[in-house]
Amino acid sequence: MSSTGPVKILGISAWYHDAAACLVRDGEIVAACEEERFSRRKHDARYPRNAVEYVLREGGIDAGELDAVAFYDKPVLKFARILETFVSVAPRGIAAWMHFAPGWLKDKLWIESHVRRELPGFKGRLLFAEHHESHAASAFYPSPFEKAAVLTVDGVGEWATTSIAAGEGRDLRMLREIRFPHSLGLLYSAFTYWLGFKVNSGEYKVMGLAPYGAPKYADLIREKLIDLRDDGSFRLNLDCFGYLTGLRMTNRRFDAMFGRGPREPESPLEQFHMDMAASLQKVTEEAMIRLARHAMEIAGSRNLCLAGGVALNCVANGRILREAGVEGLFVQPAAGDAGGALGAALSAWHRYMGGPRVADGRTDRLRGSYLGPSYSDDDIAAALRDEGVAAAETCSEEELPRRVADLLASGKTIGWFQGRAEFGPRALGARSILGDPRDPEMQKRLNLQVKYRESFRPFAPSVTEEAAAEWFDLSAKSPYMLVTAPVHPSKRLPPEPGDASLAGIDRLRTRRSVIPAVTHLDHSARVQTVSYDVNPLYWKLLRAFEERTGCPVLVNTSFNVRGEPMVLSPRDAIRCFRRTQLDALVLGRRIVSRTALPPSPVPVEQGALALD
């Protein structure tokens, strides 16, 4: 450990899903970023070489100045769990074993030598936190709460799939856990697979599909698949799942229960699939609410921090906020495995090194999750030049929100690229695609002409913090877009004649509210509340749009196309702009209109895009 100066800890998550790196200096989060943003490979799990380089550069240090590197799980325990599982089901499971063993023997067991080889000059300690400890630390330590219950729910870590901890000051005590193979995350992933979406990626599509269906099968799921108890603990009926013995999430008994096999990816969605999504979502919400109540009860606090992949289920989070008796809720924005890098580093600082923690009860320490790289005016100018885009209008900082608000109010769709990139899967006004939520065609247009994705998926609104209560039934701030709330009744529209006769995806054509592009079928919206203190430029844009239209709400979706990670650099943004039918691109203070763009060398066809 370096003898003088602040303590610098590098957190790393890698080799499973969403590799990421984070730098913490004396407990302050300096930078954090997912590797996928640099490598342009979605959910890139490889060692995060580019992300590590970036966070060290942002901190102005080299690897030799690091005091410690913290890895987000314990590979030996995880390997032992896989081995033990294999033995318990042998000789079945040999295919799964043959699939997993090479990766373990080649990479995953040799973290220490790999990290030291990648970080020449690093002489400090390499620390390992348990997977759910990393998730819990990532949720509690940056939260505004001095004392809180911490609930983490995901697929699986070492053994734990769900854990409850109590956080107070710099202490984090693990209180309870549910162990593999009983896992709410794996249950959700099993249905994701069965409904024809990609596991570890398509779960949010299942959530988006749920409002189109009725929870007709919820009782069957509770009866046959999951024994859910009052305290939120549960056991799965393992006879119906394939993940213990093979490479499929579900098996024939699962198919027999619902009278059909898995849906082929990209095949038409039927009402049955929507009902299944609704049923699963209902059961998941019930489990999460019970777990949240129990966590707060045994931790002795009405503040709740959430992390783990299932904490990205914003519909469940919204219900927890409304129904679980929560006083304060903090959902860590990079709640999946990427956030493990943050949690491991913070756990090393507070738990291992005893570093102090300050919580003021109001402000979290993630600064809006704008923890990624930013690019200067010169970088933007160079990228425009290199990409052959000459005609860019440049505005003053004061003028920019007004000019962009004019474009949005006239129905234009905008690629918005500003400041430091977001850490976590949600675009929060740094790498966003923006549009007018009042336009009834906006959802369809953005889905099919810009994002090239399924038309059933809803978009999320950004709203100024001050106006949030007028537009949404929201009792707390939602800066990270991880809570859904109903659109305020005063903004809803009565059904039109003929609406009742629509079924399935056709129901998307109903108007529902005065901001139809961000209102889901059940009148819910995945809200981001924007404060002036955290992102003044984006806040000013919302205000400027309100001055023109009376509406302080914008459609905000991630700046990418289907199958691609969110853009990171100006060059990524220009290339993405070329592939879409966005009307304008705003890079810092420069505005590029589509008409100024040279013809795209690569015409986009929907089928040519990778599945997400």
Partner 1 sequence: MSSILREFWMFLRSERKWWMAPMLLVLGIVGAVAVVAALHPALAPFIYPLV
Contact stretch for partner 1 (CB under 8 A) within 105-113, 138-146, 276-284, 562-570? 105-113
Contact stretch for partner 1 (CB under 8 A) within 109-117, 345-353, 514-522, 560-568? 109-117
- φ, ψ for residue 228 (rounded to 5)? -100, 125
Site for partner 1 contains 89 (CB under 8 A): no
> What DSSP state is assigned to residue 67?
S
Element at 593 (helix H, strand E) = strand 590-593
The one among 95, 103, 113, 235 contacting partner 1 by CB under 8 A:
113
Nearer to partner 1, 77 or 448 (CB): 77
Residue 109: CB minimum distance to partner 1, A? 6
Nearer to partner 1, 90 or 95 (CB): 90
Residue showing tokens 């903004």: 491
Nearer to partner 1, 111 or 474 (CB): 111
x-or-dash pattern for partner 1, window 32-71, by CB under 8 A?
----------------------------------------
Closest-CA residue to 232 (of 298, 286, 312, 301)? 286
Distance CA 251, CA 238 (A): 10
Residue 93: CB minimum distance to partner 1, A? 14
The one among 87, 502, 608, 610 contacting partner 1 by CB under 8 A:
87
The one among 98, 103, 112, 266 contacting partner 1 by CB under 8 A:
112
Site for partner 1 contains 77 (CB under 8 A): yes
The DSSP-derived string for 149-163 is: EEEEE-S-SSSEEEE
Nearer to partner 1, 128 or 375 (CB): 128
Closest-CA residue to 525 (of 471, 485, 468)? 485
Distance CA 400, CA 591 (A): 9
Site for partner 1 contains 94 (CB under 8 A): no
Nearer to partner 1, 1 or 90 (CB): 90
Contact stretch for partner 1 (CB under 8 A) within 110-118, 194-202, 461-469, 482-490? 110-118
Residue 322: CB minimum distance to partner 1, A? 42
x-or-dash pattern for partner 1, window 121-160, by CB under 8 A?
----------------------------------------
Nearer to partner 1, 77 or 175 (CB): 77
Nearer to partner 1, 89 or 596 (CB): 89
Residue 310: CB minimum distance to partner 1, A? 27
Element at 524 (helix H, strand E) = strand 524-526
Structure-block tokens of residue 41: 């490979």
Helix, strand, coil percentages in the chain from 3-state DSSP, rounded to 5: 40, 20, 40
Residue 112: CB minimum distance to partner 1, A? 5
Active site residue 17: yes
- φ, ψ for residue 100 (rounded to 5)? -90, -35
Nearer to partner 1, 126 or 469 (CB): 126
Residue 73: CB minimum distance to partner 1, A? 13
Torsion angle defined by CA atoms of residues 276, 282, 284 and 287, in that order, rounded to the nearest 10 degrees = -140
Nearer to partner 1, 158 or 387 (CB): 158
Distance CA 62, CA 373 (A): 17
Contact stretch for partner 1 (CB under 8 A) within 74-82, 131-139, 233-241, 458-466? 74-82
Residue 450: CB minimum distance to partner 1, A? 47
Tell me whether strands 414-417 and 431-435 are parallel, antiparallel or unpaired: antiparallel
Residue 105: CB minimum distance to partner 1, A? 5
CA-only gyration radius of the chain, Å: 23
CB 127 within 8 A of CB 70: yes
Q: Is 211 helix (H, G, I), strand (E, B) or coil?
A: helix
Contact stretch for partner 1 (CB under 8 A) within 16-24, 76-84, 413-421, 524-532? 76-84
Structure-block tokens of residue 175: 């209180």
Contact stretch for partner 1 (CB under 8 A) within 17-25, 77-85, 330-338, 571-579? 77-85
One-letter amino acid at 502 equals: L
The gap from C-alpha 56 to its chain's centroid, in whole angstroms, comes to 24
The one among 1, 83, 503, 611 contacting partner 1 by CB under 8 A:
83
Count of residues in contact with partner 1, rule CB under 8 A:
12
Closest-CA residue to 130 (of 107, 152, 103, 98)? 152
Site for partner 1 contains 110 (CB under 8 A): yes
* Binders of partner 1 in range 207-226 (CB under 8 A): none
Site for partner 1 contains 493 (CB under 8 A): no
Distance CA 172, CA 149 (A): 10
CB 483 within 8 A of CB 331: yes
The one among 28, 84, 397, 533 contacting partner 1 by CB under 8 A:
84
The one among 28, 60, 76, 503 contacting partner 1 by CB under 8 A:
76
Tell me whether strands 20-25 and 28-34 are parallel, antiparallel or unpaired: antiparallel
Contact stretch for partner 1 (CB under 8 A) within 107-115, 188-196, 388-396, 465-473? 107-115
The DSSP-derived string for 541-564 is: HHHHHHHHHS--EEEEEESS-TTS
Closest-CA residue to 258 (of 227, 224, 285)? 224
- φ, ψ for residue 119 (rounded to 5)? -120, 70
CB 128 within 8 A of CB 109: no
One-letter amino acid at 295 equals: A
DSSP E strands, 122-192: 125-128, 147-153, 160-168, 171-179
Nearer to partner 1, 79 or 272 (CB): 79
Contact stretch for partner 1 (CB under 8 A) within 53-61, 73-81, 361-369, 544-552? 73-81
Distance CA 446, CA 463 (A): 19
The one among 105, 390, 500, 610 contacting partner 1 by CB under 8 A:
105
Distance CA 198, CA 262 (A): 12
Catalytic site residue from 17, 43, 294, 520: 17
CB 102 within 8 A of CB 376: no
Nearer to partner 1, 57 or 99 (CB): 99
Q: Which residues bind partner 1 (CB under 8 A)?
A: 76-77, 80, 83-84, 87, 101, 105, 109-110, 112-113
Active site residues: 17
